[in-house]
Chain A
Amino acid sequence: MFTKFDVLETIEMVEKEHLDIRTITMGLSLFSCIRDTAEETALKVYDLVTKKAENIVKTAENLSGEYGIPIVNKRVSVTPVSLLCAAFPEKAPLIGKALDDAAETLGIDFLGGYTALTHKATADYERKFIQTIPEVLASTKRLCSSVNVGSTKSGINMEAVKMMGEIFKEAAFLTKDADGIGAAKLVAFCNAVEDNPFMAGAFHGVGEADVVVNVGVSGPGVVKRALEKIPEADLTETAEMIKRTAFKITRAGQLVAREAAKRLNAQFGIVDLSLAPTPAMGDSVAQILEEIGVSTVGGHGTTAALAMLNDAVKKGGVMASSRVGGLSGAFIPVSEDIGMIKAAESGEINLDKLEAMTCVCSVGLDMIAIPGDTPATTISAIIADEAAIGMINQKTTAVRIIPAPGKKVGDSVNFGGLLGRAPILPVHGTDSSRLINRGGNIPAPIHSFKN
């Protein structure tokens, strides 16, 4: 049984420390929707999504009311669309439109899965599909897209890496009136996971059940507040406090996930243990690192503090949930974290430090705005660097980078809402085109041969 202090602690977490369930994401298999033509397939896709996820918003609101914990986002992820359109890849935008319409009908904020899996090689239909991404992101509101360009098992597909540099630029260019927001809905992955509930990289893997509910918890503010209570503690004790706090947060997520799955007639998938910041004050991962003792995030010691934070969150979370998955780690999106935004504005954090940080946490270079005139091959090289970190370290890494059209260092972009705002960060002016234009594959590392 709980005590009155437990009750008051939970209420304080919600009222003052932004404790929330960040997302309930319903994963839907769309394989049964495939028909002879794109038009027929699109109709089936719309029907299936709006029927299966019909009650997601209402159920989330009821759960939120019953447990007294806000559930911020309701989302849907679907089977990678490129697989549904293999017979008519040029017409994939029809499916994209149907999904975006379905998302609007459901009243959800994002739907993920306009996705291609090209980690070993680029099939002809994938190549054609990927070319449709910028236009689709420019003409839809809620649809998110991702492309897996490498994995520990298969190495890095450098043709896909090269293509993605160009796709990011085009996605940003086609949405130039909105600071290039198209690129903010696009992710290039290495080791993409099939049960990720977070956007923009969510898709419903081919090995998943028909209907699954995955839940992403959050709570950077709760962790920061817990650490503020022990300012003199050594790092062993600090890690222990993070672990205990992560346990409590995750238990709330586990309860909501199981109950949501039951009410939505879906399988309970996973709880994703990520600490996901928002631009709100006091809901920042960067500020946890600063509370641990780095005066400004990006300074020396940041990577060590982040490594500890990320590991402690996992240890607490794994104990609290029967099924853990997704990305599970601390997120460091620049534009979505008030501490990161400040450090970027003051020049204390740069791309190189962010890349180092992604070696020890999920997920990658996330929501970073760079000058609009950055060459596509430079963006490809940034993707290749990040994919290499994921491939060698057997972890998921990602790049969500916005080459903001017409903007240069000193300017900033503002996407509003959860996507936030960010100053333009400089990139190295060196030329990476020879590396990128070589093509081919970076072979899988020796330690991937485990059989």
Chain B
Amino acid sequence: MRAVVTVTGKDRTGIIAKVSAFLAEKGANIEDISQTVLGEYFAMIMIAEISGVKQELSSLAKECAELGKQIGMSIYMQHEDIFNAMHNV
């Protein structure tokens, strides 16, 4: 099972380090990562394999959102199926 982690907000140092450390600790394996910086605005999208994660995706997503609040970013973790459904025929 794969999840998409999206981090957006004002660019600052150490965002990738903090988010990937958090995911590693949870047992998620980052398969792909892409980021864009537009002026001060930062957007990073990670694809994470989460089959090895012990907890439910909905509670992990909640923790991601909380981590986002701590570091002043907006973080979403969503099952990849939602994007496959909405953006592929």
Which residues of A line the B interface, CB within 8 A?
1-4, 6-11, 15, 61-69, 248, 251-252, 254-255, 319
Mark interface residues in B30-61 (1 if CB within 8 Å of A CB, else 0): 00001010000001010000000000111101
Residues of chain A lying within 8 A (CB to CB) of residue B81: 67, 255
Q: Is B4 part of the contact surface with A, judged by Cβ < 8 Å?
A: yes
Q: Which residue of A lies closest to B83 (CB)?
A: A2
Given contact pairs A11-B8, A68-B82, A69-B82, a sample of 11 additional A-B residue pairs in the complex whose CB atoms are under 8 Å apart? A2-B87, A4-B45, A7-B4, A10-B86, A62-B56, A65-B58, A67-B78, A68-B76, A68-B77, A68-B78, A251-B86
Residues of chain B lying within 8 A (CB to CB) of residue A65: 56-59, 61-62
Q: Please determine whether A66 and B76 come into contact, CB atoms closer than 8 angstroms.
A: no
Q: Please determine whether B59 and A10 come into contact, CB atoms closer than 8 angstroms.
A: no
In the complex with contacts A2-B87, A2-B88, A7-B83, A66-B43 CB distance below 8 A: no
18 CB < 8 A contacts A-B: A1-B88, A2-B84, A4-B34, A4-B43, A6-B86, A6-B87, A7-B4, A7-B83, A8-B43, A8-B45, A10-B86, A11-B6, A65-B59, A65-B62, A68-B76, A255-B81, A255-B82, A255-B85
Residues of chain A lying within 8 A (CB to CB) of residue B77: 68
Residues of chain B lying within 8 A (CB to CB) of residue A4: 34, 36, 43, 45
Residues of chain A lying within 8 A (CB to CB) of residue B82: 10, 67-69, 252, 255
8 smallest beta-carbon distances between A and B, as pairs: A65-B58, A68-B78, A6-B87, A2-B83, A255-B85, A67-B82, A251-B85, A2-B87
Pick from A15, A62, A64, A252: contact of B86, CB under 8 Å: A252
Residues in B3-27 with C-beta less than 8 Å from chain A: 4, 6, 8
- Chain B interface residue count, CB cutoff 8 Å, equals 28
Tell me the minimal C-beta distance from A61 to chain B in angstroms.
Answer: 7
* Contact residues of A: prevailing secondary structure: helix
Tell me the minimal C-beta distance from A366 to chain B in angstroms.
Answer: 29
Residues of chain B lying within 8 A (CB to CB) of residue A61: 58
Q: A62 vs B34: C-alpha distance in the bound complex, in angstroms?
A: 27
Q: A3 vs B36: C-alpha distance in the bound complex, in angstroms?
A: 13
In the complex with contacts A4-B45, A7-B4, A10-B82, A66-B61 CB distance below 8 A: yes
Q: Which residue of B lies closest to A248 (CB)?
A: B86
Residues of chain A lying within 8 A (CB to CB) of residue B58: 61-66
Q: Which residue of A lies closest to B78 (CB)?
A: A68
Tell me the minimal C-beta distance from A259 to chain B in angstroms.
Answer: 8
Residues of chain A lying within 8 A (CB to CB) of residue B89: 319
Q: A6 vs B34: C-alpha distance in the bound complex, in angstroms?
A: 13
In the complex with contacts A7-B4, A7-B6, A11-B76, A68-B61 CB distance below 8 A: yes
Residues of chain A lying within 8 A (CB to CB) of residue B57: 65-66
Q: A68 vs B62: C-alpha distance in the bound complex, in angstroms?
A: 10
Tell me the minimal C-beta distance from A254 to chain B in angstroms.
Answer: 7
Q: A10 vs B80: C-alpha distance in the bound complex, in angstroms?
A: 12
Q: A344 vs B74: C-alpha distance in the bound complex, in angstroms?
A: 38
Residues of chain A lying within 8 A (CB to CB) of residue B45: 4, 7-8
Q: Please determine whether A254 and B56 come into contact, CB atoms closer than 8 angstroms.
A: no
Residues of chain B lying within 8 A (CB to CB) of residue A3: 87
Q: A62 vs B59: C-alpha distance in the bound complex, in angstroms?
A: 8
Residues of chain A lying within 8 A (CB to CB) of residue B78: 10, 66-68
Residues of chain B lying within 8 A (CB to CB) of residue A63: 58
Q: Which residue of A lies closest to B5 (CB)?
A: A7
Q: A111 vs B57: C-alpha distance in the bound complex, in angstroms?
A: 29
Q: Please determine whether B56 and A67 come into contact, CB atoms closer than 8 angstroms.
A: no
Tell me the minimal C-beta distance from A147 to chain B in angstroms.
Answer: 37
Q: A67 vs B81: C-alpha distance in the bound complex, in angstroms?
A: 8
Residues of chain A lying within 8 A (CB to CB) of residue B83: 2, 6-7, 10
Residues of chain B lying within 8 A (CB to CB) of residue A68: 61, 76-78, 82
Residues of chain A lying within 8 A (CB to CB) of residue B6: 7-8, 11
